[in-house]
Structure 1
Amino acid sequence: MKTYIDPFDYAKEITRSVGKGVLVTTRNGPTVDCMTIGWGMLGIEWGEPIFTVFIREGRFTREQLDATGEFTVNVPMGDYDRRIVGYCGSKSGRDTDKVSDLGLTLMESEEISAPAVREFPLTLECRVIYRQMQDRDAIPESIRKTMYPEDVDSSNPMANRDYHVAYYGKIVKSYIL
């Protein structure tokens, strides 16, 4: 059973959880991927409720988002298995089926194809309405050195060399499973 919510009534819970890790889930045909993110923003843009996710260029999730333009944000509530955040943040969906490996329970979304994840019950269904590549030259040198070091191979799932694409997702449905 779903309880429908206004995401802004849960802004504190959502934004606190982002810093610890929430999931972004995508579906492209039969392929579902969950990726941990630690950067994200809840807000209003162009008069619409938006959740913005930042996905590195080389990530499988970026390919999924570019193909479908849909994602869910899955936020834990209460006690949860922290291994989910670690696993989904360190493995690539190109190489492994994280949903199967972790035994995650997928729930069909109402407005989009990307599913919700029962284990992380606060769900935002989002449809991409805008995407923007970061401007490398506009990022302060101190941040570039820390967040985008040139000596890390970008092919590694934990790589930091590649920059982010910001995906502005209009929140089309929000609920707690």
Structure 2
Amino acid sequence: MQEINWNKHIDILKDALSGNGAFLIARDASGRANPMTIGWAQVGIIWSRPTLTVLVRRSRYTYSCLVEAPDFTVNVPTAGTLDDQLLFCGTKSGRDLDKAAACGLTMKRAQRVLTPIIAECRLHYECQVVLRKQLSREDFSSPQILDEYYQSDDHHMLVIGQIVAAYAS
């Protein structure tokens, strides 16, 4: 794997998020990696640092992992690959099973954080958590967003991670 500038392949991440998604991995209290499919994320500069922001609903098992986790990884598969695994990790809960093992994903040691990466993916971002913000109804000024995404009040937590490593295979 070759280390790259964090912004070199943002287009690949954007295309994945617009398609079948990417994998967010967080570790639970026992250290077990839990992959979850994400379709929303934001990459940019905040506080003069390269950051990747992910959103996770309170109802998701990954939420409980990220509440305490010091880091996370985002892993982007080659377009058209791992579609079954993305679907599985987006519809099954890690509360009850090891999703990575169940769908044949290989967890590999990351370079700078404790959370692993997915060996089968082509692009990896390692992030250290710098901010967690639980959203609530009062945070929104757009009733359309509330009506479209939060009818059940299952609001997301924003997790901003400083990108500490990015690499591609």
Fold conserved (TM > 0.5)?
yes
Q: TM-score, normalising length from structure 1?
A: 0.88
Q: Using the alignment, how far apart are the partners of 1:79 and 1:176 within structure 2? A: 17
CA contact (8 A) 1:80 1:119 kept: no
Q: Using the alignment, how far apart are the partners of 2:62 and 2:31 within structure 1? A: 14
Per-residue CA distance 1:138-157 (angstroms, 9 max, x = gap)? 4222211111123xxxxxxx
Q: Using the alignment, how far apart are the partners of 1:16 and 1:85 within structure 2? A: 14
Aligned-pair distance for 1:34?
0.2
Q: Indicate yes or no: 2:86 matched with 1:85.
A: yes
- The alignment's C-alpha RMSD in Å is 1.3
* Equivalent in 147, 154, 160 of residue 168 of structure 1: 160
Per-residue CA distance 1:11-55 (angstroms, 9 max, x = gap)? 111112122211101123341100011110010000000000001
CA contact (8 A) 2:4 2:166 kept: yes
Which residues in structure 2 correspond to 1:1-177 (within 5 Å)? 2-20=1-19, 21-28=21-28, 29-139=30-140, 140-150=142-152, 161-177=153-169
Runs of 4 or more above 6 Å deviation: none
Q: Using the alignment, how far apart are the partners of 2:45 and 2:167 within structure 1? A: 18
Q: 1:8 is paired with a residue of what secondary structure? A: coil
Return the letter of the residue paired with 1:12.
D
Aligned-pair distance for 1:96?
1.6
CA contact (8 A) 1:134 1:166 kept: yes
Aligned-pair distance for 1:111?
1.2
Q: TM-score, normalising length from structure 2?
A: 0.92
Per-residue CA distance 1:92-117 (angstroms, 9 max, x = gap)? 11012111111111110111111010
Q: 2:12 is paired with a residue of what secondary structure? A: helix
Aligned length: 166
Q: 1:94 is paired with a residue of what secondary structure? A: coil
Residue ranges of structure 1 left out of the alignment (5+ in a row): 151-160
Return the letter of the residue paired with 2:72.
F
CA contact (8 A) 2:6 2:165 kept: no
Q: Using the alignment, how far apart are the partners of 1:43 and 1:95 within structure 2? A: 34
Identity value in percent: 31
Residue ranges of structure 2 left out of the alignment (5+ in a row): none
Return the letter of the residue paired with 1:27.
R
